[in-house]
Amino acid sequence: MQDSPKVRMPGAVILALVMVCGHALGYLFGGWALIDENRSKLEHGQDLLMPMAMAWCVALFLWGVAALQVACVVLARKRRYWVRVVLIVCLSFVALSMIVAFLGSLVGGVPSLPAFVIAGLDVAALWMVSGPSGHDYFSARGPASGVIPA
């Protein structure tokens, strides 16, 4: 099978991939923090955040999603269509989560500026990947305007 011609990755897609890397780091840290907090509570005789088996399942799920996101970032150069689909799904999930977090902070009476900013960046990254530049880049029949001579 022949690889698609080398095409420059649009800046919009690069920015979206940087966001995905940041979320992957957050997933890695979140899984570790969950297990660490549960162990700390167990050592001090306090109630756990969730049963330890469930905490490990959640942490393994988070680490799996992080690994999938890192794999997508690495494989984005190959211009595979499924990478775009996975990025759209992951960015949609995170954007929706951050919007809910911001709305929850509004209901709580303490608006969270970081949640608002990250939600906005996630929506922008989602638009970049699912928009024309992401579609053209990840399409095997993308425009030839950015073709780099071999």
pTM: 0.77
Residue that has been written with the tokens 């990254």 in this structure = 125
Between CA 81 and CA 66 the distance in angstroms is: 19
Per residue of the chain (150 residues), what is the pLDDT tens digit?
455 556 788 888 899 999 999 999 999 999 999 999 999 988 888 888 888 899 999 999 999 999 999 999 999 888 888 899 999 999 999 999 999 999 999 999 999 999 999 999 999 999 999 988 888 888 865 554 555 544
What would the two tokens of residue 95 be? 């954007």
Mean pLDDT in the chain?
86
* pLDDT tens digits, one per residue of 25-41: 999 999 999 999 999 98
Give alpha helix (H) positions in 1-150.
11-43, 52-75, 81-107, 113-130, 132-138
What would the two tokens of residue 75 be? 């494989």
> By CB neighbour count within 10 A (0-12 exposed, 13-18 middle, 19+ buried), where does 46 fall?
exposed
Between CA 18 and CA 94 the distance in angstroms is: 14
